[in-house]
Amino acid sequence: MNRSLGLLAVFCAVAVACGSSASSPSADGTAGGSEAPATTAAAASTSAAAAEPSVPAAIEPVADRLAADPEAPMAEWVAGINTAGWDFHRHLAGNAVSSPMSIGVAFSLSRAGASADTAAVLDDIFGFPSAGSHSAANAVDRLLAEASAEPNTVEVANRLFPDDGFSPRPEFLETAATHYGATIQPVDTADGDAAAEVINDWVSGRTRGLIRVIVNPDAVQDQRLVLVNTVYLKADWLEPFLADLTRDGEFTTDTGQAVTVPFMQDHEAVPRNHVLLDGADAVELPYVGNDLAMWLIVPHEPDGLAAVEASLDAASLAELPEIARRGTVHLTMPKWEQTLPPADLFKWLCPQGFCAGAGFDGIAPGIFITSALHSAKVIVDEKGTEAAAATAMAFNESAPPPPDLTVVADRPFLWTILHPETQAILFVGRLVNPAA
């Protein structure tokens, strides 16, 4: 059967149960960061025994993963993917969630196989460094892996699914393995149903079942290669919210409608980093370990989010931890869950010159990209560890002083999850209606 010389790129990202009481083990036994190869049936059976979706076995990488290069241009690489990710966020309407990190890592990996003209376009869109881009991606991922310590989990994983009759260039496979930890799992793309099932099973395993379907059989039918990236985050709040204090309240949506949703609130003012922006208040919610943090950017006016977003860029989001002041903050915010179904990235990329048909001769002669998809999900709740919940029950006997800042996120707001050490934006989102 003739096969199209197609490359399908898929990017999935999940920030799950931010503030949940326990972290999940890796779906294939890894402890965090880019995946280790899942080479045995025993690894898959262990996952199944843990009530996680099974992860299909994969071939060993063609080369060992490199150690982080301290001279790699990490700052330039991060700034580029942050800017591109923020641009994609602004492309989305209404409730929005996406992962600049997932999109950036996947396109950084795919650039290793790009034709010269395609590479130039990707460099323009993503700001990849002229030298050392893959080393930078590896170094950033290695630092993210260090944030994956109990009770938190941060994992970036890459897998190549070539058609079982297709052989990518060895140079591309070596870069994928040494800088991105990518494993390889051949599939028979002549059978679109079976190939899609294998890919979706892997994605479901890596995202703990939160993204179960990312590709359909038509998308993978007769493709030469499917490149998939996942980013998974699960972290506990450093200052958890008490579930007993969660109360229903009114949230004014972007259309002016009042919807009733559960609101979490501090039991008393909490010392937090915050930034007073023009027209909005930004408040940090650190996770245990202080390696990661969510920032809420809440406009002063119920209809002020559009103006606030227009005044911000990726750099201003990434520098929030650097310009923050410390003070007591009393925060009220909704519980929420957001999902971005598989979105066609070409609707965002094609106007910038990167469209279906772009060449990737570095993967194999005649290879071109046919589609690019991104899906993401976030769940935010009040849960903390058992010990933290017990500590939170200890109230002061006398009334505390008034807070330096009171923030009530009862209107459309912006949020982002940052890795302060690298200034990487892992996730970014907009919540305009938590009841949607």
Averaged pLDDT for residues 183-205: 92
Is the pLDDT reported for residue 115 higher than 50? yes
Provide the phi-psi class of 256: left if phi over 0, else alpha when psi is between -120 and 50, else beta: left
pLDDT confidence of residue 11: 54
- Looking at the chain, the whole-number percentage of residues with pLDDT higher than 70 is 81
- Looking at the chain, the whole-number percentage of residues with pLDDT higher than 90 is 59
Is the pLDDT reported for residue 367 higher than 70? yes
Distance between CA atoms of 80 and 66, rounded to whole angstroms?
Answer: 22
pLDDT confidence of residue 23: 39
Lowest mean pLDDT among 46-50, 105-109, 142-146, 350-354: 46-50
pLDDT band at 387 (very low <50, low <70, confident <90, very high): very low
pLDDT confidence of residue 371: 85
Lowest mean pLDDT among 14-28, 37-51, 156-170, 397-411: 37-51
- pLDDT tens for each residue of 54-65: 334 556 667 889
Averaged pLDDT for residues 4-16: 55
pLDDT band at 30 (very low <50, low <70, confident <90, very high): very low
pLDDT confidence of residue 44: 30
Is the pLDDT reported for residue 166 higher than 60? yes
SS (H, E, C) the chain: CCCCCEEEEEEEEEEEEECCCCCCCCCCCCCCCCCCCCCCHHHHHHHHHCCCCCCCCCECCCCCCCCCCCCCCHHHHHHHHHHHHHHHHHHCCCCEEECHHHHHHHHHHHHCCCCHHHHHHHHHHHCCCCCCHHHHHHHHHHHHHHCCCCCCEEEEEEEEEEECCCCCCHHHHHHHHHHHCCEECCECCCCHHHHHHHHHHHHHHHCCCCCCCCCCHHHHCCCCEEEEEEEEEECCECCCCCHHHCEEEEEECCCCCEEEEEEEECCCCEEEEEEEECCEEEEEEEECCCCCEEEEEEECCCCCHHHHHHHCCHHHHHCHHHHCEEEEEEEEEECEEEEEEEEECHHHHHHHCCCCCCECCCCCCCCEEEEEEEEEEEEECCCCCHHHHHHHCCCCCCCCCCCCEEEECCCCEEEEEEECCCCEEEEEEEECCCCC
pLDDT confidence of residue 27: 38
- pLDDT tens for each residue of 213-260: 888 898 888 888 889 999 988 899 998 898 989 999 999 999 999 999
- Domain chopping of the chain, boundaries: 6-36+54-236+338-379, 243-334+403-431
Distance between CA atoms of 430 and 435, rounded to whole angstroms?
Answer: 13
Task: Specify the residue for token string 């590479």.
Answer: 119
pLDDT confidence of residue 59: 64
Distance between CA atoms of 391 and 396, rounded to whole angstroms?
Answer: 12
pLDDT confidence of residue 401: 60
Averaged pLDDT for residues 320-324: 96
Is the pLDDT reported for residue 82 higher than 70? yes
- pLDDT higher for 394 or 48? 48
Superfamily of 6-36+54-236+338-379 according to CATH = Antithrombin, subunit I, domain 2 (3.30.497.10)
pLDDT band at 9 (very low <50, low <70, confident <90, very high): low
Assessment of whether the complete model's pTM goes beyond 0.85? yes
Return the closest-CA partner of residue 304 out of 281, 326, 283, 284.
281
pLDDT confidence of residue 267: 87
Average pLDDT, the chain: 83
Is the pLDDT reported for residue 199 higher than 50? yes
- pLDDT tens for each residue of 265-292: 998 899 999 999 999 999 999 999 999 9
Is the pLDDT reported for residue 186 higher than 70? yes
Residues β-bridged to residue 405:
329
Specify the CATH class of 243-334+403-431 in words: mainly beta
Averaged pLDDT for residues 110-130: 95
Is the pLDDT reported for residue 309 higher than 90? yes
pLDDT band at 8 (very low <50, low <70, confident <90, very high): low
Q: What are phi and psi of 420, to 5 degrees?
A: -55, -35
Query: Radius of gyration (Cα) for the chain, nearest Å?
Result: 22
CA 7 to chain centre: 22
pLDDT confidence of residue 136: 98
pLDDT confidence of residue 24: 40
Averaged pLDDT for residues 333-357: 91
One-letter amino acid identity for 195? A
Averaged pLDDT for residues 415-422: 95
